[in-house]
Amino acid sequence: MKKVSIVLVLAMQLVFMYSCSDDTTSTNTDTEIDDTDDIEVVFDDTDFEATDWTTETHSKDADPDFEEVFEDDAVKRLDIIITEDRWNSMLTDMTTLYGTFGSHSGGNGLIDSDEDPIFVPGEVFYEGKEWYRVGIRFKGNSSLQSSWSAGILKLSFKLDFDEFEDEYPQIDNQRFYGFKKLSLKNNYNDKSMLREKVAADVFRDAGLAVSHTAFYTVYVDHGDGPEYFGVYTMVEEVDDTVIDTQFSDNDGNLYKPDGDSASFAEGSFSEDDFVKKTNEDDADFSDIEELFAALHASNRTTDPEAWRAELESILDTNTFLKYLAVNTVIQNWDTYGRMTHNYFLYNNPDDDKLSWIPWDNNEALQNGNAQGAVAIDFSDVSSSSWPLIGYLYADETYKATYDAYVQETIDNAFNTSSIQAKYATYAALVEPYATTEVSGYTFLNSSSDFQTAINTLNSHVVQRTSVATTYLNQ
C-alpha cells in the first residue's frame, strides 16, 4: 500500500463510499425502509479494487496470526467506516428489536429475542490497511440490550470478513490475518475493562481451550468522521479458529447451548437449546442425548465406578472438572450453575468426547448479580437443576479431582502475586484510553472509576485465595 496516513486513507474511503461511478448513480439507494419496519439494504458499490490485499493479511491461505491480532502487550486501534444510510439501518433494526435507544437507565425489562441484529457491509482499517465490505453487526444479549436502553452507544460488534462475498467477489474468502470472524466486546459492566481478557488468560494458563483476547480502541465513522467508541476487548470466535487451532481438527459437532435444557436437568433435553455451530445440516444430536442418558443413569449411586466409566466415554470429565474449579475459584456467575448459557461443547474427533469450552467472561472475577457466583463447595447449587455440578461433586472420585484442580488454580493460573502483576501491567496499558472515553460511549461515571475497579480486582484475588485455602483445609 502507498505510504499515506490513516486519516487520509479514511478520508479517501469516505469520498468513495458517498459517491458512485456513472453506471451506479441511479441505483445506489443504500437503504429502503417500508411501513412494516422491514429493512432492505441494497448494495450497488461493487466497482472497486482490493488494492491492499496480500496473502498474509487478507487471504484464507494464511495461518491465523495470533501475535499480530492478539498481542498481550499493546492496545491496538481499529477503525470502522459505515455509510450513514447503512448505520441508520442498523439503528432502526435495533429499535425494532429492543425499543427506543436510551429508553431507560438500567437493564430491567429485557426483551427475549431470538433474532440477531442485521449485518451491513463496512470497511475496516488497521495499521494503514483496508479490509473491504466486511460484515458488521451489533452483538450480545443482555449486555447489548442494557447498553442500548441506557443510551450508551459503546455497543459490541461482530465482524465477519467474507459475509458479503457473494455480493462482492473481490473479497472471496477474505480474512483478517487468517481470521474469518472476530468479536469486539464492549466490556459491559466492567469499569476495569480487564475482566474479559484476564479470565481468558487464566483459563488458558490452566491448560483449557479458550478464545484469545486483546485490547483495542475502536473508532467508528458513520458519516461525520471517526468517533471514539472506547476500549474494547477483541475476542477470538470459537467456531472459527479456536476449534481449528486448539483441537486436532474442526470436523466435530460444536454446540452453543442456550435454554432450559442447557442445564442438563433430567428430562429437559431439547434440540432447539443445543445450537449447532458446525455440521448444522446434520440433524444428529445423539452425542448430547447420550450425555443426558449417562449423566442420569440409575447406577450413579449404586455402581458409581460403572457410572463414571460410561460418563467418561462421552464427556471429557477431566476438562470439565478443571474448568469448574477455575471458574468457581475466580467466580463467574453468568454461566453454568446460575445461567443456561455462555459455554460451548465440542465433540473432539480425537476421542469422540464432548469437551467444555468457556465463553463470554466479562462478568467473571466478581461475585456477580442475582444470586451471585456459586459457592466453592456448591452448597448453594441444586443438584437436580445443575446435575453436571451436583452429581459430579457428590461423587468422591470426582470431588477429589475437583479439589486437586482448586489447589492447582490458586498455586498457578490464579496465583495472587502473578495475577496482581498482570493487573498492574494491563491497567498501565489500558488506563490512558479508558480514562479518556467520552460520555455516551463509556460505562465509567468518572475517570477515577477505572482505578477503583483495578483496586477491587486486586482485593478480589486475595479474597478468593483465602476462600479456596479455607475450603481445602476443611
Domain borders along the chain are 6-186+210-245, 254-412
Q: What is the dihedral of CA 113, 145, 228, 165, to 10 degrees?
A: -10
CA distance 344 to 468: 26
pLDDT given for residue 103 in this prediction: 87
pLDDT given for residue 109 in this prediction: 58
CA distance 311 to 293: 9
Provide the CA 458 distance to its chain's centre, in angstroms: 24
* One-letter amino acid of 460: H
pTM of the model: 0.89
pLDDT given for residue 338 in this prediction: 97
pLDDT given for residue 12 in this prediction: 42
pLDDT given for residue 24 in this prediction: 34
Taking the chain (474 residues) in runs of 10, the rounded mean pLDDT of each run is: 37 40 35 38 75 98 98 98 98 95 66 84 98 97 93 98 97 98 97 98 98 98 97 98 95 97 98 97 96 98 98 98 98 97 97 97 95 97 98 98 98 98 98 98 97 98 98 96
pLDDT given for residue 105 in this prediction: 47
The candidate with the shortest Cα–Cα distance to 331, out of 378, 355, 363, is 363
Surface-to-core class of residue 407, CB atoms within 10 Å of its CB (0-12 exposed, 13-18 middle, 19+ buried): middle
Q: Which region, left, alpha or beta, applies to residue 37 given φ > 0 means left and ψ of -120 to 50 means alpha? A: left
pLDDT given for residue 44 in this prediction: 61
CA distance 67 to 439: 33
Max distance between CA atoms of the chain, in angstroms, equals: 79
CA distance 199 to 332: 9
